[in-house]
Structure 1
Amino acid sequence: MSSTLDRNTLADATSPYLLQHADNPVHWQMWSDATLAAARAANRLILLSIGYAACHWCHVMAHESFEDPATAALMNRLYVNIKVDREERPDIDGIYMTAVQAMGEQGGWPLTVIMTPDGAPIFGGTYFPPEPRWGRPSFRQVLEMVADAWKKDGEKFARSGASLLRRIAAHAELKPGAPISPGDLAAVTERFLGMMDWEEGGLRGAPKFPNAPIFRFLWGEYARTGRHEAGAVVALMLARMAQGGICDHLGGGFARYATDESWLVPHFEKMLYDNAQLLDLLALAHAAEPDLLLAARAAELVEWLRRDMRARHDPAPDGTLAFAASEDADSEGEEGKFYVWTRDEIASVLGAEMALFEDHYPCPAAGNWEGKLILTRATHPEHPETEARLAALRARLFAAREGRVRPGWDDKILADWNGLAIAALARASAVFARPDWLDLA
């Protein structure tokens, strides 16, 4: 047996997500041919855990299970444990996410997959609690039940896992069909429009993700056909998001998604790829119908990119830099702590101008989320003098917030996400007449 299987090797990683787990008592391994070969040689099941640095529920499962000595001892005794950063290895994530969904489970992160020593998936899911709850078994129960079933009937599981991998491979094969027709595009448009929330914007229900590619498609169909509803649903979503709690009204940018139907309560992580695609949508919508709200949110988003998201390690000789991948939801072990307020905290910063601020950013004494305030905007920006005063008040709150412990920052540089940001900045530069944004791109 390879000696590396008896220790945590993540200290040798470069991924910020993997490094977050370098001190776990779990004997985590990085994905490699050598690790997989060692698992085969030891004839041990593989526990694959996939996540990313800004993932709130990844942190929860880490604190509850991976940092727990008893759980770690069970994992180390029964499994070869492999950690993967989905942003670093989207290929691995794609294969095993497809496998878990093929098992009838809902996808998401953290992704938890148990595999045969040959790497064939035999069980999967997402977050598992430390004790049975919400109709889900505990993580320790899962570990023991699957290991026991494998011990009793390993050949059956091996055949099932191999069959699942063959189905996934067949599904991934290219199967050219007829060219896409205008009728196909119209049919997809109708299907998407039937899924929309025409009150709050976005897709119906909760949680609410921006789903930028869907809305970029609808905007393209609006431009191609003039179908009013296809453009209106994009404008509605952007307007609701721009006023809601999913928007960081002090620092700029948007959180990854909202947990409710009205864009109020985000999971507070901010991702480069989401914000790049939303900047592109803001520019497209503003180009069709100029709107001070969209212009303000675009400018704030770009300022967030410029101020907080430049990856500062190993700059090129000419001084150019790239954008980092994400900012975390958590700080000091608490989700959203960096972003939320009490009314008294806001009043202590703004003093006599609290009344003006509250006219535009509601601040109920009881809060709007777990006794705290997530800032939202209740009015549309129309009067330049008022907006200048509000900007000064937001700047004071921003300065006060900067004194807090910041969320974690993933400075991993992803070429595809940077490409999205570069393209969005280039378009937005033209639409909003900001040549400095082109320089940033």
Structure 2
Amino acid sequence: MAGRLRDQASAYLRQHADNPVDWWPFGEEAFAEARRRNVPVFISVGYAACHWCHVMAHESFEDAATAAYLNEHFVSVKVDREERPDVDAVYMAATQALTGQGGWPMSVFTLPDGRTFYAGTYFPPQQLQGVPAFRQVLEAVSSAWRDRPEEVETSAAQIAAHLASAQDGNRRLVGALDLAPGTSGALSPEVLPAAVAAVGEQEDTRFGGLGGAPKFPPSPLLRFLLTYGAGGGAGSGAAAALADRTLETMARSALYDQLEGGFARYTVDRAWSVPHFEKMLYDNAQLLRLYAHWSRLAPAPAQRRLALRVSTDTAGWLAKRLLVDGGGFASSLDADTVVDGRRREGATYVWTGEELRAVLARAGAGTEADAVLDLLDLETGRMEEGGSTLHFGRSLDPEEEQLWLRWSPALLAARDSRPQPERDDKVVAGWNGLAIAGLADAALALADADDAGAGPESLPHAGALNLARNAAEYLLRVHYRDGVLIRVSHNGTARGIEGLLEDYAGVAEGLFALFAATGEERWYRAAEELVLAAEQRFITDGVLQDTAVRTGQLSAAQGAVASADPLDGPAPSGTALFAGVLVTYAAYSGSSRHRALAEALLAHVQVVGARAPRAGGWALSVLAQALEGPRELAVTGTDSELVQHLLRTGRAAGGPAVVTAFREGAGTGGDSSVPLLRDRGAPEGSALAYLCRGMVCSRPVSDPEALAEQFGNRQP
């Protein structure tokens, strides 16, 4: 084989480099080869941490006879959905249109121009429960290509027309963006309590979370519930209570790694007891930030301690498991572990009761071993092969929590000696931006708790902040060049396509959060540059698009119509992220034009917010923030201790919606690159806090209690 995948940035592609299938990466060369040979294109889409992708690879792509048939009758293209979400989105829409469902591995058959004519997901090597064998599918597709070309062309044209219609729908949902300042419609708050009510109807009142099995962490939606719950509007109490219940349930469950932190992608059962063990950066970046905010907002001290512990351990997990040379973060850990040459899902993480007792005995737990095992719900989390996941399924009292913290390090040390899951080392710009934001906000939450004497011992807030700084420096050094952000890097080299809207906006989100945490204006300037670049590159003739550059194949597949998809998946949509950074940027800069653009981008959530709140969670959170003003807090002065005290007060009183900036040292901020800080002076040896909306500020105060009162009185 040509070995075209051997040096790819994607670990998923490299995993297939030695297959007998003659794989090509997605690109013009592969489709040109299909035109030259007059054969269809087989596109296989997956990702490195995907269990069923590994299964199909072993059953079919490593099989010599299947590979020979593919090589003779098709040009085969391997796609990492994380590296090329633009490719995945187009062909996933086609797959769902044809089959009514989607998933990975995804198997798509296209014409040499990129238009889909047949698609499915996982196909077994032999026919199984009505699902045809992969070889049967290949033979049927090849026969249709050879003997019924008119039917193939008709199918491709119909699917392209369907996708074009869907893109037109996105355009109508997002709306036209050629707006002058002040011309956008006023934001309406009615959708927010309606969305809370709709989410409440989806709550699993027995096991917590939303819906049934499989059960996912609703991260963008939880951001809305926390933001709106802290704001005091209609339904805010219900939003806060729902967030409290969900966050506590997840932290006690098997979704969360009770030994070292970090969250799995989802659980296969309703009770949160059996995870699908892959761990993704985009999940953990969002959840780290959510638990950091919850550590201030949770009503009970035990919940606040739990939130701080989750924040601490998840930040540590990022550093231990996903940090790559240079400061960026890898994409994921695999769901499978290779044990004795065989892939086993979750093998690193499951235990038998006998294994637990043996480790605790060696560690000297003595009579406490039984008490440790009594904390765990080993029956609910039992796997098919007999092992169990480690989770509690209930709240622990302080003595029980200390018992677990005393002996869990011994269990982790024993687990670390086992074979570990493989890591996908590619660095994705947008996900790293979310990680920077999570680490920056976690550093503040942990530092605030440390100062108040309310957190766990040895809080690594300085370490979390350094991780955020290093990741930001990595992105700007490696991914950003000549005004263009590259989506992916590997081994310190950026490769492949330009970043998508979600990358530009995600990195800007992280840099704004890092500025708020450090006061270092270089991060603000870099975020501003990315926001302005995104505005220029992703809006054409009043239409927002997710990609700045589209390939001919994807254009053909969508009927030459493209628009941004504003709806969230497990991570926020590029549209919602961009709206959020525009609101933040307008708060810092006073730009009415960017505020108007943000409001225009939020129009879609007025339609989907109450109907499908999980698809609009991040945009709902941005809407809640925008309706708050957002409130802007500028703190300046030479008394560093008072500056930090005022900031802590503002963060506690303002919740996630407040936009903060600070400047320590002499001067009035007249030379600041941040307009919010300009001419916000303070007497020598003191500090002042300015609480503002739209750059209009209340009377500056130096007393933290007076600042808290201004927040409580809804000033300015």
Return the TM-score normalized by structure 1: 0.91
> Of the candidates 342, 345, 354, which is equivalent to residue 369 of structure 2?
354
Q: Does the CA-based 8 Å contact 1:8-1:26 persist in structure 2? A: no
Q: Is residue 308 from structure 1 mapped to residue 318 from structure 2 by the alignment?
A: no
In structure 2, distance between residues paired with 1:363 and 1:163: 51
Q: Supply the AA of the counterpart residue of 2:16.
A: H
Distance 1:103 1:187, change over 3 A: farther
1:334 and 2:344 equivalent?
yes
Partner of 1:432: 446
| Equivalent position of 2:413 in the other structure | 399
How far the C-alpha of 1:94 sits from its partner, in A, is 1.0
Q: CA deviation at 1:12?
A: 3.1
CA distance in 2, matches of 1:367, 1:246: 11
- Which residue of structure 1 aligns with residue 577 of structure 2? none
Cα contact 2:381–2:390 (8 A) shared by 1: no
Is 1:61 the counterpart of 2:61? The answer is no
Rounded to whole Å, the distance in 2 between the matches of 1:236 and 1:124 is 40
- Within 1, Cα distance between the matches of 2:129 and 2:462? 52
Structure 1 segment 180-259 matched on structure 2, within 5 A = 181-224=188-231, 225=233, 227=235, 228-259=237-268
State the identity %. Answer: 44
How far apart in 2 are the matches of 1:81 and 1:361?
A: 47
1:376 to 388, 391, 405: 391
More displaced 10-residue stretch of structure 1: 117-126 or 411-420: 117-126
Q: Secondary structure at the match of 1:182?
A: coil
CA contact (8 A) 1:258 1:264 kept: yes
Deviates more, 1:328-337 or 1:227-236: 227-236
Closer, same or farther: CA 221–135 of 1 in aligned 2, 3 Å: farther
Superposition deviation, residue 382 in structure 1: 3.8
Q: CA offsets per residue over residues 300-319 of structure 1, 9 Å max, x none?
A: 1111011111012xx2xxxx
Q: Which amino acid is the alignment partner of residue 418 of structure 2?
A: R
Q: Does 1:49 align with 2:48?
A: no
1:99 to 88, 94, 98: 94
Given the superposition, is the C-alpha separation of residues 367 and 244 from structure 1 closer, same or farther in structure 2, using an over 3 Å criterion?
closer
TM-score, scaled relative to structure 2: 0.57
Distance 2:230 2:130 in 1: 46
The counterpart of 2:144, out of the listed 127, 130, 149, is 149
Please identify the structure whose Cα radius of gyration is greater: 2
| 2:410 aligned partner, one-letter code | R
The root-mean-square deviation of aligned C-alpha atoms, in Å, is 2.0
Paired residue secondary structure (1:59): helix
- Structure 2 CA distance for aligned equivalents of residues 44 and 24 of structure 1: 20
Select 1:283's aligned residue among 268, 292, 295: 292
Q: Is the 8 Å Cα contact of residues 331 and 426 (structure 2) preserved in structure 1?
A: yes
Select 1:322's aligned residue among 307, 323, 328.
328
Whether the 8 Å CA contact 1:25–1:72 is kept in 2: the answer is: yes
Q: Please list every run of 5 or more consecutive structure 1 residues that lacks an aligned counterpart in the other structure.
A: 1-5, 316-320
Deviation at 1:32, TM superposition (A): 1.3
Residue 8 of structure 1 deviates from its aligned partner by 4.3
Matched, 1:417 2:398: no
One-letter identity of the residue aligned with 1:251: E
- CA drift of 1:435 comes to 3.6
Q: Deviations over 1:281-318 (max 9, x none)?
A: 21222221252222222211111011111012xx2xxx
Q: Which amino acid aligns with 1:279?
A: L
| Aligned match of 1:265 | 274
Asked whether the equivalents of residues 99 and 120 of structure 2 are also in contact (C-alpha less than 8 Å), the reply is no
> Structure 1's 438 and 381: CA in aligned 2 closer, same or farther, altered over 3 A?
farther
Question: Which moved further from structure 2: 243-252 or 352-361?
Answer: 352-361
Distance 1:210 1:378, change over 3 A: closer
CA–CA separation in structure 1 for the residues paired with 2:143 and 2:136: 10
- Contact 2:41/2:77, CA 8 A, preserved across alignment: yes
Secondary structure in 1 matching 2:137: helix
Distance in structure 1 (CA, Å) of the matches to 2:126 and 2:246: 38
Moved more, 126-135 or 327-336: 126-135
**SS across alignment from 1:81:** strand
Cα shift readout 1:356-380 (whole Å, capped 9, x = no counterpart):
211322445x972221111012453
Aligned pair partner of 1:343 in 353, 365, 374: 353
Are the equivalent residues in 1 in contact too, given 2:277–2:335 (CA < 8 A)? yes
SS at match of 1:194: helix
1:390 aligns with 2:419: no
Contact 2:274/2:381 (<8 A) preserved: no
CA distance in 1 between counterparts of 2:13 and 2:220 reads 29
Q: What amino acid sits opposite 1:359 in the alignment?
A: D
Secondary structure of 1:132's partner?
coil
CA distance in 2, matches of 1:336, 1:161: 40
Match runs of 1:69-84 below 5 Å = 69-84=64-79
Question: Tell me, what secondary structure is at the counterpart of 2:319?
Answer: helix
- Tell me the distance in 2 between the aligned counterparts of 1:251 and 1:323: 17
* TM-superposed deviation, 1:219: 2.8
Distance 2:428 2:97 in 1: 28
Asked whether the equivalents of residues 129 and 136 of structure 1 are also in contact (C-alpha less than 8 Å), the reply is yes
Contact 1:330 1:407 (C-alpha < 8 Å) held by counterparts: yes
Residue of 292, 298, 308 corresponding to 1:295: 308
Q: Distance in 1 between matches of 2:142 and 2:195?
A: 44
Cα 1:155–1:185 shift into 2, 3 Å? farther
For structure 2, list consecutive stretches of 5 or more residues without a partner in the other structure.
177-183, 448-460, 469-716
Distance 1:119 1:367 in 2: 44
What is aligned with 1:3?
Answer: none
CA contact 2:230–2:297 (8 Å) conserved in 1: no
Instruction: Tell whether the 8 Å contact from 1:200 to 1:236 is kept in structure 2 after alignment.
Output: no
Q: Within 5 Å, give how 1:160-199 maps onto structure 2.
A: 160-173=155-168, 174-175=171-172, 176=175, 181-199=188-206
